[in-house]
C-alpha cells in the first residue's frame, strides 16, 4: 500500500461580503443574536454569474499550482458539493473541461458538510492501491442559491466558497486513518424537500418554498456535538493516537458552540482548534477545505504536525481523518 498525503492546497472566496449588519436589514435579527449563537460575523456570496464549478475551478487551479502539477497530468477529480451546477452532468466534468485535465476521471460526491472528508478518503483509496497517481479533490458550494432569505433561523448561517487539495503518493507522513459514518434515519433533520424525483418541481413546491434548505437546528446541534466527538476519537484510535497528540483540529465550521463543545469533550485547548467561521459562516463541503488551506498558508500547520479533520452533515453523515503533515 502506498503512503498518500496532501501535496497542494488552494481556496477561492467570492468577493461579495454579507455582514450581520446587512442581514439586520433583510430579516428580523441582530448582530448580537447571530454572533452569540453561531460565532458568525459575515459570509461570502457568489456573484450572479458564478456557479459552483466556477468557484471550484479557481480553487482547484490554485491547488494544482501549489502542488506544481500540470492539469494534463491529473488523473482523478472529485468534487464534493450539494449545490452542483445542474443535476447532471457532474460539476467535476465542468472542472475537468475548464482545467484542461483531459485524462482525469471525474465525478461528484454528495455528502453535504462532510463531503471534503469523504472525497479525501475516496482519493486515498484509489492512490494507495495504485489505480491513480494523483487526485484533485474540491469542496465547492453556492449555498446562497438554496438559502431561504426569508427564514431568519437559517439564512444567517450559510455562505459560498471553495477549497481544494491535491492528493498524491508521499515519502513520509500522509493519511494515518479515516472514519466515516451515516445514519439515514435522521435525514429529515436537514434537507431540501423539493426539486428531486420525490417532489418534482411544480408551482406547488415552489409556493411552499420546498426548494430551500430546511433544518431542525436544535436537534442537529445536539447530534453534531456527539457525532463529531465520537468520529474524532475513532479516527485517533485507528491511528493509535491520543487527543493530546493532535497539533491542530480542523472542524467543520458550522457553529462555534458545536465546535467548542466538541473541544471540551475531547479536552482540547482552544489554541489547537482552527476557526474561520467568523469570516465565512458554514460553507458546507467547502468549509473544512477552506480552513485547511488557510491553516497551511498561515503556518498553523507545519511539517510533521498531526492534523485532525472532523465534519458532519446532512444525511446524517460524518467523517474524520488523521493526517501527518
Contacts of 166 (CB under 8 A, 6+ apart): 6, 7, 8, 9, 63, 64, 66, 67, 69, 134, 135, 136
Give the active site residue among 20, 93, 155, 252. 252
Give the active site residue among 20, 134, 255, 282. 282
3-state secondary structure of 210: coil
User: Known catalytic residue: 113?
Assistant: yes
Q: Is the dihedral of CA 279, 280, 281, 282 positive or negative?
A: negative
User: Known catalytic residue: 282?
Assistant: yes
User: Known catalytic residue: 98?
Assistant: no
Angle at 218 between CA 266 and CA 222, to 5 degrees: 25
Give the active site residue among 113, 155, 293, 321. 113
- Among 113, 56, 163, CA closest to 320: 113
**Cβ pair 3, 169 in contact under 8 A:** yes
Question: CA 172, CA 12: separation in Å to the nearest integer?
Answer: 28
Catalytic residue set: 113, 252, 282
Amino acid at each position: 500500500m502506498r503512503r498518500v498525503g496532501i501535496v497542494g492546497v488552494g481556496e477561492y472566496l467570492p468577493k461579495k461580503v454579507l455582514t450581520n449588519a446587512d442581514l439586520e436589514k433583510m430579516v428580523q435579527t441582530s448582530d448580537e443574536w447571530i454572533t452569540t449563537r453561531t460565532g458568525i460575523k459575515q459570509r461570502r456570496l457568489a456573484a450572479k454569474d458564478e456557479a459552483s464549478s466556477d468557484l471550484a475551478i479557481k480553487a482547484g487551479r490554485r491547488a494544482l499550482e501549489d502542488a506544481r502539477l500540470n492539469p494534463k497530468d491529473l488523473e482523478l477529480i472529485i468534487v464534493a458539493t450539494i449545490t452542483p451546477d445542474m443535476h447532471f452532468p457532474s460539476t467535476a466534468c465542468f472542472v475537468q473541461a475548464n482545467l484542461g485535465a483531459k485524462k482525469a476521471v471525474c465525478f461528484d460526491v454528495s455528502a453535504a458538510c462532510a463531503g471534503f472528508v469523504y472525497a479525501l478518503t475516496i482519493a486515498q483509496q484509489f492512490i494507495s492501491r495504485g489505480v491513480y497517481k494523483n487526485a484533485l479533490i474540491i469542496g465547492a458550494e453556492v449555498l446562497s442559491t438554496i438559502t431561504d432569505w426569508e427564514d431568519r433561523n437559517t439564512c444567517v448561517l450559510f455562505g459560498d466558497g471553495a477549497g481544494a487539495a491535491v492528493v498524491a503518493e508521499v515519502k513520509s507522513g500522509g493519511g494515518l486513518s479515516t472514519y466515516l459514518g451515516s445514519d439515514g434515519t435522521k435525514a429529515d433533520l436537514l434537507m431540501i424537500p423539493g426539486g428531486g424525483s420525490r417532489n418534482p418541481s411544480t408551482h406547488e413546491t415552489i409556493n411552499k418554498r420546498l426548494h430551500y434548505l430546511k433544518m431542525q437546528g436544535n436537534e442537529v446541534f445536539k447530534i453534531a456535538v456527539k457525532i463529531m466527538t465520537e468520529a474524532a476519537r475513532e479516527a485517533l484510535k485507528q491511528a493509535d493516537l491520543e487527543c493530546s497528540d493532535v497539533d491542530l483540529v480542523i472542524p467543520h465550521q458550522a457553529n462555534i458552540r458545536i465546535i467548542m463543545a466538541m473541544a471540551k469533550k475531547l479536552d482540547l485547548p482552544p489554541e489547537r482548534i482552527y476557526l474561520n467561521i467568523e469570516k465565512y459562516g458554514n460553507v458546507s463541503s467547502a468549509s473544512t477545505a477552506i480552513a485547511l488551506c488557510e491553516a497551511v498558508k498561515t503556518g498553523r500547520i507545519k511539517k510533521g504536525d498531526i492534523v485532525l479533520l472532523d465534519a458532519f452533515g446532512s444525511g446524517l453523515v460524518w467523517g474524520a481523518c488523521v493526517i501527518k503533515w
